[in-house]
């Protein structure tokens, strides 16, 4: 990769305690993600891909190691500071959309903007733009219950991009969709990456979905085991589970 | 009275209370300032309309009960709160209740018992009032609550009189000054009629209805406390309602004349047993505490009042000692019933908000993912509880005031000589404060639980 990494994960370990037992989910994992890359994370259940995604998105903190996103070292941040950082820097797309059922599509997309110092007119402009980008400006007054799964996921994507974040993280964004809707959502993500130069990290079980990414990382038992570029042979030498320092 | 008592008493009686107005203004200001968040909270409450409405209803009913109880307690507190000026001294028998003093005490007591030059002298025409109590039944063969009547026997001029010089009505009786001008005029006319025809009496509206009598009707009372002194009365009119709903007022002279008539021609030992015991109490109005203490000293040091001995209390302490009989009941209302209701309200709100938070753990996690800080999540949950508590509390306080005072005409609960109680003007503020306080108390733990939702635990599927 010739581009400077926007995400740098260095020697990250993450373990959980369950009673007296310690579960090591990530072990000395290091990873660079260049700006504007569409990266897919694959691996069996329990391999630690969602945990890694949560750490990069600032939803959790590593047991040890350093995570940098842009100029910020997010692994050191307090919970409140992380929350503020997430508002501006991360857009999250969930498997089950997780739209708030009492809010309309417009209000769901507007929600992250309420946390920013922004006029109502500005908010309206950004929400309209985001909904336009995902092709749902004609459904902005519908509640989630009145939208199909694919449409709800589009609203979820609009909500993720509305703050113009540095990073978009998506946890199985097509996992709850039929083939056609999944295809449309992946098209949309590729379009966002190409037109807005967004860095996208996507966790998926689906090889077809992963094949839309520029690079695929495979995790097993908390370690990166292989890297592939769709259409090319595995490039194991480009990844490491050993400390880089 | 110290300043905290003054603030509390004011808060319990006046809708123009600055604390209440400031609290409401603050709530509205915050709601408008953070309108988007308020709107979000309102929408969240709409998620389960039935639960929100039921929680609001529970708050509503409990605030209603507390408002009723507090209205009674606040009224009694005001009656027993010591005044520092324009206060009434109550002179009663020292060692016996009910007090039965000889009427011969009345003249000197009405002046404050001055004996020496320089002693404090009360104006008996304006600032003193004698009280006797005459009770009996309309049907001696079948005494019921409805046919027993109890009269305050007094001088009609002290009930109300009109001063031609100042063009103002004056009264020694509490709350008469709150009557309308027209009511005062009618009452003044009636009192002059009572002076002219002592058998004419005034009866409280509720008592009149209970007796099934109308203005203008005559009736005979077989006395219960003046044996063989049975009197005939004509109903002249109604006393203005409120605290006199269940009372009746008669001219003391009528009772005195009846006793004298009974005694006529009888030897001293055959005279009526109550002849020298008709005076139940004297009221003397003094301008300040210093005057009260001087009058009390004059009375207690006077050799005139030894058989029986008398005592002089402020009206507030007199009422307080009268309310001693209700001490346990009032204690229970104040310190058991009210706290129990407040705790119940908090638990109802805690239960509803806990369920709501538990159901919305994923939503709380999503909000955190979107960038809401833990304290913002906490505020959202507290805000939802406050919205329910404040709204239902305010509406309940206001509706209780309207229902009890305007629609029902007062809460009929005979405690001591107070027949009816009215809801305080400050009831909406009570509702707002109670609703807010219990909502906060009930939602703190659920809100803290929402604040502490771990996003990774909600979303991670770590094996």
Tens digit of each residue's pLDDT (9 = 90 or more) over B52-110: 899 899 989 999 999 888 888 888 887 777 666 668 889 999 888 788 999 999 999 99
Each residue of B146-197: pLDDT tens digit?
Answer: 888 999 999 999 999 998 888 888 888 877 877 888 888 999 999 999 999 9
Each residue of B300-314: pLDDT tens digit?
Answer: 999 999 889 999 988
- Residue A214 in any domain: the answer is yes
CATH number of the CATH domain containing A187: 3.40.50.300
Structure ipTM: 0.87
Q: Using the beta-carbon criterion (under 8 Å), do A50 and B462 form an inter-chain contact? A: yes
Specify the 3-state DSSP secondary structure of A29. strand
For residue A46, give how far its alpha carbon lies from the nearest alpha carbon of chain B (Å).
5
- Residues of the domain holding A140: 5-228
Q: Where are the domains of chain B?
A: 4-80+327-462, 96-308
Each residue of A156-215: pLDDT tens digit?
Answer: 999 999 999 989 999 999 988 888 899 999 999 999 889 888 899 999 989 999 999 999
Find the closest chain A residue to B459 by CA distance. Answer: A50
Enumerate the residues of chain B whose CB falls inside 8 A of the CB of residue A100: 363, 366
Q: Using the beta-carbon criterion (under 8 Å), do B456 and A112 form an inter-chain contact? A: no
| pTM, to two decimals | 0.71
Q: Count of CB contacts below 8 A, A vs B?
A: 80
Find the closest chain A residue to B37 by CA distance. Answer: A114
Q: Does residue B392 carry a pLDDT above 70?
A: yes
Q: Which of B348, B335, B329 is nearest to B63 (CA)?
A: B348
- Residue A242 in any domain: the answer is no
Instruction: List CB contacts of B28: < 8 A, sequence separation 6 or more.
Output: none
Minimum mean pLDDT among A92-101, B300-309, B452-461: which range?
A: B452-461
CB nearest B366 (choices: A46, A98, A115): A98
DSSP lists the bridge partners of residue A167 as A90, A199
Average pLDDT, chain B: 87
Q: Using the beta-carbon criterion (under 8 Å), do A83 and B372 form an inter-chain contact? A: yes
45-64 in chain B: CB under 8 A from chain A: 46-47
Q: Which two tokens stand for residue B267?
A: 């030897």
The DSSP code sequence of B262-331 is HHTT--GGGS-TTTT--B-EEEEEEEEHHHHHHHHHHHHH-TT-BTTBEEEEEHHHHHHHHGGGGHHHHH
- Residue A243 in any domain: the answer is no
Report yes or no: B213 and B202 within 8 Å, Cβ to Cβ: no
Number of separate domains in chain A: 1
Rounded average pLDDT over B312-331: 81
Enumerate the residues of chain B whose CB falls inside 8 A of the CB of residue A111: 40, 367, 370
Burial (CB count <10 Å: 0-12, 13-18, 19+), residue B268: exposed
Enumerate the residues of chain A whose CB falls inside 8 A of the CB of residue B32: none
Each residue of B185-232: pLDDT tens digit?
Answer: 999 999 999 999 999 999 988 888 888 999 999 999 999 999 999 999
Burial (CB count <10 Å: 0-12, 13-18, 19+), residue A214: middle
Q: Which two tokens stand for residue B348?
A: 């109802």
CB nearest B43 (choices: A45, A102, A112): A102
Alpha-carbon gap, residue A229 to A214, rounded angstroms: 6
For residue B327, give how far its alpha carbon lies from the nearest alpha carbon of chain A (Å).
52
Instruction: List CB contacts of B11: < 8 A, sequence separation 6 or more.
Output: B17, B19, B20, B426, B429
- Residue A245 in any domain: the answer is no
Maximum Cα–Cα distance across chain A: 54
Specify the 3-state DSSP secondary structure of B235. strand
- Residue A82 in any domain: the answer is yes
Report yes or no: B272 and B262 within 8 Å, Cβ to Cβ: yes
């Amino acid at each position: 990769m010739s581009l400077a990494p926007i995400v740098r994960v260095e020697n990250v370990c993450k373990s959980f305690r369950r009673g007296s037992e310690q579960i090591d989910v990530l072990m000395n994992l290091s990873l660079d993600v260049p700006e504007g890359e569409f990266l897919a994370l694959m691996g069996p259940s329990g391999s630690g891909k969602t945990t890694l995604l949560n750490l990069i998105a600032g939803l959790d903190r590593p047991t040890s190691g350093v995570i940098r996103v842009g100029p910020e070292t997010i692994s050191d941040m307090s919970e409140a500071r992380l929350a503020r950082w997430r508002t501006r820097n991360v857009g999250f797309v969930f498997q089950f959309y997780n739209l708030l059922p009492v809010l309309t599509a417009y209000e769901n997309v507007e929600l992250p903007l309420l946390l920013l110092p922004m006029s109502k007119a500005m908010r309206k402009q950004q929400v309209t733009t985001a909904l336009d980008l995902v092709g749902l400006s004609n459904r902005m007054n519908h509640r989630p219950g009145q939208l199909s799964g694919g449409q709800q996921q589009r609203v979820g994507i609009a909500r993720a991009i509305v703050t113009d974040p540095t990073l978009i993280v998506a946890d199985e964004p097509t996992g709850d969709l039929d083939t056609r809707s999944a295809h449309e959502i992946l098209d949309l993500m590729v379009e966002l990456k190409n037109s807005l130069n967004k860095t996208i990290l996507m966790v998926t079980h689906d090889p077809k979905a992963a094949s839309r990414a520029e690079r695929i990382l495979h995790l097993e038992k908390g370690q990166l085991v292989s890297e592939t570029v769709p259409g090319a042979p595995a490039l194991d030498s480009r990844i490491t589970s050993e400390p880089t320092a | 009275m110290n300043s905290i008592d003054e603030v509390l008493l004011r808060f319990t009686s006046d809708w123009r209370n600055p604390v209440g107005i400031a609290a409401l203004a603050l709530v509205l200001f915050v709601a408008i300032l953070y309108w988007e968040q308020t709107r979000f909270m309102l929408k969240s409450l709409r998620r389960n309309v039935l639960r929100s409405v039921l929680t609001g209803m529970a708050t509503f009913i409990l605030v209603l009960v507390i408002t009723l109880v507090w209205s009674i307690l606040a009224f009694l507190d005001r009656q027993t709160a010591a005044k520092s000026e324009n206060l009434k001294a109550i002179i009663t028998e020292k060692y016996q209740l009910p007090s039965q003093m000889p009427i011969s005490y009345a003249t000197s007591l009405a002046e404050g018992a001055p004996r020496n030059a320089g002693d404090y002298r009360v104006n008996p025409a304006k600032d003193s009032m004698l009280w006797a109590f005459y009770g009996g039944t309309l049907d001696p063969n079948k005494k019921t609550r409805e046919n027993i009547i109890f009269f305050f026997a007094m001088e009609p001029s002290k009930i109300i009189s009109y001063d031609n010089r100042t063009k103002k009505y004056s009264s020694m009786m509490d709350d008469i000054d709150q009557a309308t001008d027209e009511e005062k005029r009618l009452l003044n006319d009636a009192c002059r009629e009572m002076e002219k025809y002592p058998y004419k009496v005034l009866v409280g509206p509720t008592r009149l209805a209970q007796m099934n009598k109308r203005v203008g009707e005559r009736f005979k009372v077989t006395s219960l406390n003046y044996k063989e002194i049975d009197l005939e009365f004509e109903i002249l009119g109604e006393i203005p309602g409120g605290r006199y709903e269940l009372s009746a007022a008669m001219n003391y002279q009528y009772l005195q004349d009846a006793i004298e008539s009974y005694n006529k021609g009888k030897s001293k030992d055959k005279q009526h047993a109550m002849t020298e015991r008709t005076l139940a109490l004297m009221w003397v109005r003094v301008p300040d505490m210093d005057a009260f203490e001087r009058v009390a000293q004059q009375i207690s040091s006077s050799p005139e009042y030894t058989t029986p001995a008398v005592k002089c209390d402020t009206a507030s302490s007199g009422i307080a000692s009268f309310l001693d009989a209700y001490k346990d009941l009032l204690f229970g209302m104040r310190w058991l019933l009210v706290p129990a209701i407040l705790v119940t309200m908090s638990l109802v709100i805690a239960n509803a908000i806990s369920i709501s938070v538990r159901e919305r753990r994923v939503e709380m996690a999503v909000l955190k993912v979107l960038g809401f800080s833990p304290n913002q999540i906490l505020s959202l949950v507290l805000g939802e509880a406050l919205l329910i508590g404040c709204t239902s509390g305010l509406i309940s306080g206001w509706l209780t005031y309207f229902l009890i005072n305007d629609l029902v005409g007062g809460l009929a609960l005979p405690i001591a000589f107070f027949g009816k109680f009215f809801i305080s003007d400050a009831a909406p503020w009570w509702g707002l404060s109670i609703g807010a306080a219990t909502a906060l108390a009930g939602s703190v733990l659920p809100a803290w639980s929402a604040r502490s939702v771990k996003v990774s635990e909600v979303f991670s599927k770590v094996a």
